[in-house]
Amino acid sequence: MYVSHPSVHPVEAPPITDGALRVVMMKDFQGMPGTIGGLVLRLCQFLFAAGAVSVMASTHDFVSVTAFCYLVTAVGLQSLWSLVLAVIDIYSLLVKRRLRNTGMVTLFTIGDGITSTLTFAAACASAGITVLISNDLGYCAHNQCMRLETATALAFFSWFTVSPSFLMNFWSLASR
């Protein structure tokens, strides 16, 4: 009897266990939205940004310099964004739901990209002027310079903690 020979490879039926779930969980490394690491990053971003706003606002004439006003605006926006994302992370952890759908990750990536760019730009502009006042011109009332430097440093710290969130979300978006 003639029997055809198609190319047949025996394939085991996938076990209906937690295998598929484990593959998804492997992508949930700490720092992603909806993880403890992600929440810690968001809280750090918020605290550093809020600190930068407070310290800069405590200097008496920051409104006379455009870059310092811009710093207050940019890190103010950063602190609001990070606070909202921290609240979402807390909710996600409480109800044990992962924030993994493409729409949300895209939104987080765009938001992190915009806020981190604005924060970094503000920190750099502020740093340029602070160095100009303290080093290049040597015109520095001690207390004022300390505050400017502190606010700038806090803005940089905020940017340092936003960048991993942005890169991880972007990576997650590209690798799906």
Instruction: Give contact residues for its own copies (rule: CB under 8 A).
Output: 6-13, 64-67, 117, 120-122, 124-129, 131-132, 135-136, 167, 170-171, 173-175
Q: Which is nearer to its own copies, 97 or 101 (CB)?
A: 101
Q: Which of 170, 24, 169 is nearest to 88 (CA)?
A: 169
To the nearest whole angstrom, how small is the minimum distance from the Cβ of residue 83 to its own copies?
Answer: 25
Q: Which of 44, 56, 42 is nearest to 85 (CA)?
A: 42
Query: How far, in Å, CA of 51 to CA of 149, rounded?
Result: 12
Query: How far, in Å, CA of 52 to CA of 161, rounded?
Result: 14
Amino acid identity at 108: F
Q: Which is nearer to its own copies, 43 or 65 (CB)?
A: 65
Q: Which of 173, 136, 175, 131 is nearest to 153 (CA)?
A: 131
Q: Which is nearer to its own copies, 95 or 136 (CB)?
A: 136
To the nearest whole angstrom, how small is the minimum distance from the Cβ of residue 135 to its own copies?
Answer: 6
Query: Would you say the C-alpha torsion 118, 124, 129, 133 has a positive or negative sign?
Result: positive
To the nearest whole angstrom, how small is the minimum distance from the Cβ of residue 93 to its own copies?
Answer: 25
Q: Which is nearer to its own copies, 54 or 70 (CB)?
A: 70
Query: How far, in Å, CA of 46 to CA of 87, rounded?
Result: 11
- The answer to whether the CB of 52 falls within 8 A of the CB of 147 is no
To the nearest whole angstrom, how small is the minimum distance from the Cβ of residue 121 to its own copies?
Answer: 4
Strand partners, 30: 32
To the nearest whole angstrom, how small is the minimum distance from the Cβ of residue 94 to its own copies?
Answer: 30
Q: Which is nearer to its own copies, 66 or 91 (CB)?
A: 66
